[in-house]
Amino acid sequence: MSVFYRLHQDQSTGTKRSGKWYARAVSTAVINTRQLAEIIQR
């Protein structure tokens, strides 16, 4: 299970972080507890 990130630029105005870039984690798939247990078991 990999973690993917998407770059995002802050569009707010009048703050210290306006215009700065940062990464957001992106969800590519959703699994349930049983599937996660099978992955961990392997």
pLDDT tens-digit map of 1-42: 678 999 999 998 888 888 999 999 998 888 899 999 999 999
Residue type, 5: Y
Residue type, 20: K
Q: Are the CB atoms for 23 and 5 separated by under 8 Å?
A: yes
User: What is the predicted pLDDT for the residue at 24?
Assistant: 94
Q: Are the CB atoms for 21 and 9 separated by under 8 Å?
A: yes
User: What is the predicted pLDDT for the residue at 5?
Assistant: 95
